[in-house]
């Protein structure tokens, strides 16, 4: 039924168009007859009018296609520019302006005048001179209104326009900052992990060679060797477990096992786990939670690691007597605020931006003993982010250090 109605509508439309054209031709003939023109001249004039009408339709169609093409290019995530042989801009999509922090891009100006960077214009120049596609990675730094310097990484691809078109080139710009940073993080992670694993393995192999050589004869000496080997073997296991934990949190390969629990019970379990570190130390612990213990919903396994790592970090970094660690929890309508504060030696200001980075360990001069894998605080941050929260760190050397966690009561 629908197809029949559509066919009928097309037939009526065709008939109307035919009648309209016949009426137009008849009007032209009457006009030319009144003007005293001959029949063949009238036909030539009619054909001329018809040609002008078709040309207007063609121009309107080209304008429509041009606007459609430009609107589509304005929606893509890559910057696109078309220039002539002198690198004067003929077209530039909105994304290009956003990538280079410009409110508007003026047509008719050259790439160098508009973007003030030789790397962009040189890439297009190479494509024009060599008459082939050219690809280049560049780094650009922009000073923002606040005075901060924003460094971005771009992949630039340029090529001459097709031979049938007028002389010029097209340019496409990709923002690859996130990919570049991710690749750098991966390289740093591999390098740091290799270094951290190599150190204990070297020590273990050294003690194995010492025992095999038969130099140590007494049981006490052999026991010391075995104790050191055990210590570093456990460190290797801890590094691997921490790396797997971070990998699961970052890649989302392990979904959070959400369950209700109380924050106070979680902190107490962490303190029980750290019991051997607390023995014989002049350390005071202060817990401040609501009477019900502070109800939360989250992955208890990861929250155990959060409190264990933060408390262990405070104990390891502050071996002097008189240490006071305060763990406090405040509950609000839709979120809670957890804070771990100590009155220890603090963290220098130049170290604060790096404490959550993998394998970063400050104050290495305080003790020659192994102080951890350098992954604990990275796990803390990733866990809190996985639960939809944030963690902040403030420290005044010699006065106090405070980790403050804000997390929604319904993480997902």
22 lies in a domain? no
17 lies in a domain? no
Within 8 A by CB and 6+ apart from 342, the residues are: 314, 318, 323, 324, 325, 326, 400, 401
Last residue of a domain, one of 197, 230, 254: 254
CATH number at residue 126: 3.30.450.20
26 lies in a domain? no
Within 8 A by CB and 6+ apart from 60, the residues are: none
Last residue of a domain, one of 254, 289, 317: 254
44 lies in a domain? yes
Rounded percentage of the chain residues whose pLDDT exceeds 70:
75
- Same domain, yes or no: 115 and 229: no
Q: Nearest CA to 114 among 127, 128, 97?
A: 97
The residue behind tokens 């297009």 is: 124
Q: Give pLDDT tens digits for 300-315.
A: 988 998 999 999 888 8
Q: Give pLDDT tens digits for 25-75.
A: 555 555 455 545 455 455 555 565 566 556 555 556 556 555 656 666 667
The residue behind tokens 């360990």 is: 361
- Same domain, yes or no: 290 and 333: yes
- Same domain, yes or no: 268 and 403: yes
Q: Give pLDDT tens digits for 225-256.
A: 888 888 888 888 878 887 788 777 777 656 77
CB atoms within 10 A of CB 266: 20
The residue behind tokens 């109605």 is: 5
11 lies in a domain? no
- Same domain, yes or no: 271 and 411: yes
Contact 381, 353 (CB under 8 A): no
Give me the pLDDT at residue 16, please.
45
Structure tokens at 195: 């270094």
Q: Give pLDDT tens digits for 314-329.
A: 888 888 888 999 999 9
Give the mean model confidence (pLDDT) for residues 210-215.
Answer: 84
- Same domain, yes or no: 64 and 112: no
- Same domain, yes or no: 270 and 131: no
CATH number at residue 282: 3.30.565.10
Contact 395, 264 (CB under 8 A): no
Give me the pLDDT at residue 170, please.
87
pLDDT band, very low/low/confident/very high, at 9 (cuts 50, 70, 90): very low
- Same domain, yes or no: 261 and 406: yes
pLDDT band, very low/low/confident/very high, at 268 (cuts 50, 70, 90): very high
- Same domain, yes or no: 350 and 393: yes
- Same domain, yes or no: 250 and 378: no
How many distinct structural domains can be found in the chain? Answer: 4
Range of the domain at 109: 79-175
SS (H, E, C) 128-163: HHHCCCEEEEEEEEEECCCCCEEEEEEEEEEEECCC
Contact 106, 96 (CB under 8 A): no
25 lies in a domain? no
Give the mean model confidence (pLDDT) for residues 126-139.
Answer: 89
Give me the pLDDT at residue 295, please.
92
- Same domain, yes or no: 228 and 351: no
Last residue of a domain, one of 234, 254, 274: 254
Give me the pLDDT at residue 335, please.
92
9 lies in a domain? no
CATH number at residue 226: 1.10.287.130
pLDDT of residue 4 exceeding 60:
no
Give me the pLDDT at residue 23, please.
55
24 lies in a domain? no
Structure tokens at 188: 């740093």
- Same domain, yes or no: 246 and 325: no
- Same domain, yes or no: 392 and 412: yes
């Amino acid at each position: 039924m629908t197809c029949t109605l559509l066919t009928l509508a097309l037939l009526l439309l065709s008939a109307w168009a035919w009648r309209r054209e016949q009426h137009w031709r008849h009007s032209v003939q009457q006009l030319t007859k009144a003007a005293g023109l001959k029949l063949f001249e009238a036909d030539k004039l009619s054909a001329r009018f018809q040609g002008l009408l078709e040309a207007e339709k063609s121009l309107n169609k080209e304008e429509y296609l041009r606007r459609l093409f430009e609107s589509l290019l304005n929606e893509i995530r890559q910057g696109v520019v078309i220039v002539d042989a002198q690198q004067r801009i003929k077209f530039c999509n909105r994304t290009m302006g956003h990538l280079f922090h410009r409110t508007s891009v003026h047509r008719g100006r050259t790439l160098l005048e508009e973007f003030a960077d030789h790397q962009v214009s040189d890439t297009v120049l190479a494509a024009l001179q060599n008459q082939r596609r050219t690809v280049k990675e560049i780094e650009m730094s922009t000073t923002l209104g606040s005075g901060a310097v924003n460094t971005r990484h771009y992949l630039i691809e340029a090529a001459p326009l097709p031979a049938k078109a007028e002389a010029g080139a097209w340019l496409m710009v990709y923002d690859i900052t996130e990919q570049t940073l991710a690749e750098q993080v991966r390289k740093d992670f591999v390098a740091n992990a290799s270094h951290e694993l190599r150190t204990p393995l070297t020590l273990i192999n050294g003690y194995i060679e010492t025992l095999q050589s038969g130099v140590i004869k007494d049981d006490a000496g052999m026991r010391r060797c075995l104790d050191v080997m055990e210590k570093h073997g456990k460190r290797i296991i801890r590094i691997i477990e921490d790396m797997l934990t971070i990998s699961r949190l970052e890649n989302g390969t392990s979904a959070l096992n959400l369950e209700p629990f109380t924050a106070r019970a979680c902190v107490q379990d962490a303190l029980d786990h750290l019991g051997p570190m607390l023995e014989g130390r002049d350390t005071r612990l202060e817990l401040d939670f609501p009477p019900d213990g502070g109800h939360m919903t989250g992955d208890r396994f990861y929250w155990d690691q959060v409190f264990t790592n933060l408390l262990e970090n405070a104990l390891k970094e502050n071996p002097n007597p008189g240490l006071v660690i305060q763990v406090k929890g405040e509950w609000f309508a839709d979120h809670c605020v957890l804070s771990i504060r100590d009155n220890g030696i603090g963290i220098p200001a130049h170290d604060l931006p790096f404490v959550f980075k993998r394998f970063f360990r400050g104050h290495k001069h305080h003790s020659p003993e192994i102080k951890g894998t350098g992954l604990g605080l990275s796990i803390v941050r990733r866990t809190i982010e996985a639960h939809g929260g944030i963690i902040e760190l403030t420290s005044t050397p010699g006065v106090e250090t405070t980790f403050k966690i804000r997390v929604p009561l319904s993480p997902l």
